[in-house]
Structures are given as structure tokens and as C-alpha cells.
Structure 1
Amino acid sequence: KLTDEIKGIVNVRIEDDWSPEQIAGRLKQEGIISLHHETIYQHILADKKAGGELYKHLRHQNKTYRKRYGSAHNRTGIPNRVDIDERPEEVNNRKRIGDWEADTIIGKNHKGAIVTLDERVSKLRLAFPLAGKKAQYVLDATILMLDPIKSFVKTITFDNGKEFTLHEKIAEALGCDTYFATPYSSWERGQNENANGLLRQYFPKVMELI
């Protein structure tokens, strides 16, 4: 349960247009409290039902509420998936550093994988080899790569693979927002897709990665 003190801190940051994921990440980073971002969404919803206006500070207030408090899953099978259509325009326009694209490269016969991350403005590429494409492996590798530079992680846009089902834990650990490209529209993560194509020159589809 949120104490009045924590509610006060959360409210101030919501009013400064922080996302619940960013707030939860910062509270944990500052050693104040380890709080799941869904708890903050529930707090916002309770405030709205009581006549409050905290929900107006959510970046996509109406769509976000439908996604958060409607069905927890969707046709992709990814819980609480937020579509790329809800991504801030400043991400689409490449106006800042800190917006990433993510995917995985899978080895032949599903033996081994590589999780890849590309920052949209600086063109920085990070890649990490995995024993397989289990969601837990991808979660651990993504946090391992981005945690040292998480002040430069504002959003991550993922492919719709099941290996990204733990995206909410990634968002909470890094204090960022997560989005998903439209299914079968890899061009929406064009930078990542192009870089993966280059990587495939060295790790072709006929190669096992472990």
C-alpha cells in the first residue's frame, strides 16, 4: 500500500509528466521504495475515479487506460503491449538521444540467439549472445547492456516476438517506456532491421549460434 509520503512523491512526478515506468525506476534507483509501475497506474486510476486529474498527465491518457485496464493480453500474446502508434512524436522525429529499437537474431534449429539494440539518433548498436531466446534470457541481457547507460534510455521499441513478453520488467528496471511495432511491419524498426541484416553477413541463418 502506498503511504501518503510516497503518494506525494509520485503525484509530483506524474504532474511533471513522468510515466509510471520512469517513476518506479527512479524510486528504486534512489533507494526510496521498490514499487511496481502497475501500482502507480492503479493509483492514477483510483485518483481518476475520485474526480482527480492525474490521468491527464499520461502521455496517451485514453488509449493507455484501455490497454492497461482492458484485456491484459492481445493477439500477440504479449501482456500490456503498447502499440507504436502511441509512441511520442519526438521519438518518431529522432529529436533526442535515448530511443532504442530491439530484436533478436535466432540461430539455425533455434540453437542460440543474439539480442540486438540500436539507438535511433547516435546509431549506437549493442548486441549480446544468448543460449536461447527465452524471455528471461532477453530480459537479463537487455538490462545488462542498458543499465550502465540508462540515463540515455527513454523508450525501447520491440519486435512482437514472445521473447519480449517481460518488457514491463525491462521498463521498470531501466525507468523507460516500451512500445511494440505493428506485427509484420519490420520497417517500423528500420534501423534495427538494417543492422541485423549486416550482422547476418557474419552469422547467417544456416549457422547455429551455440
Structure 2
Amino acid sequence: MSVDFNIVAQPRETVGKGASRRLRRAGEVPAIVYGGHQEPQMITLPHNELLKHLEHEAFYSHVLTLQVGDETSSVVLKDLQRHPAKPFIQHVDFLRVTQGEKLRMSVPLHFLNEESCVGVKAGGLVSRSLTEVEVSCLPQDLPEYIEIDMVAMEVGAILHLSELQLPAGVELAHAAGDEVVVAIQAPRGGADEESEGEDSAEA
């Protein structure tokens, strides 16, 4: 993991919609941290600092360091509520990380050599069905992303979930089903359409 994220938060005593609105007006984001065999704790963190962290893709799939007062714990981001019309974060959920216990997290997919793969060079079109996958692993094995090298994919090739090359210690969270991740579709206006056009012209 190449990036470290440190979040400084403050405990909060007041709860409810009115209290949350006052916090947001003051530039703070109401949040909660739970799990880790401890009681949930209500906290607040600066909105501007949170926005800076959210600019990094790794923040969403990374073990974070959360400091609340004098206590420091390892957490992951589990839920993020955004304002439906404005660029504001309304609430955040963090989950405490326990060493030795597996996490279930959504991890982004990075598609490599998409433009230079065999199928695209032959005129094929890339069709992505998934942009992230949910994985299960120990905290120290959590990847920031999973790479998919498409360089050898030909027209008509399909990559399924079961064919993903996962890092050591990482497995898919859902064993059932085998969804399509990415495929190379035949180019539009292929040979069949051309032959149909010729037949129509002759008629």
C-alpha cells in the first residue's frame, strides 16, 4: 500500500437531525465508527479535510488511521452519504479493523492495455460490465485495486469473475454466480451487415 491516510476526528455528544445540520453549517461532517468488538462511537471530522482524502481512489479501499482525541484505531470506509444536489458530504460510516479477522470490501478494477489489446486493434469495442468487485481478505492483504491486463483479449473474448487474477490472500466475497467483467464485442457494421446490404442492393 503506497498511501497512508490519517484522519483526525472529535467525539460528539449531540445526535439528531438538528444537531447534524448545525455541524454541517460549521464545516463539520457527522460520522460514526463501529465494529471491532467495541461500542459504536459518534464523531465529527472537518469537511474540507475529508474532501481532500476523497480525491484519492485508494481512500475507498484502504486501511485508514483514525485519531479520536488521544485514541488511534485502524478503520475502513464503509458508507458515504452525499448531498443529492450539492458537493457536500452529509455522513460517513467507518468500520474498525481487527487484525486476524477478514474484511469484506469493494475494490476498484484497473483495466490495463485497453486501447492496445488485440481485439481493439481489430476494430472490436470494449464493454465493461463491472468497475469494482467485493473481496474478502485480512486487513494486511487488502488491495487498493485489482489489475486486469487486456492486451491478449481478442474480438469475442469474455472475462468472467472466476477468471480474475487476485492477489495472494484475497478471494471474491460472493462465490455464487459468474458475472462478466469485461468483453470485446465485434465491431458495428460487421461482415453480416455488409452482406445484407449487398443482397438488398442486388434485389
Q: TM-score normalised by the shorter chain: which range applies?
A: under 0.3
Higher relative contact order (CA 8 A, sep 6+): 1
Q: Which has a greater percent of helix?
A: 1
Report the structure number with the largest CA radius of gyration.
2
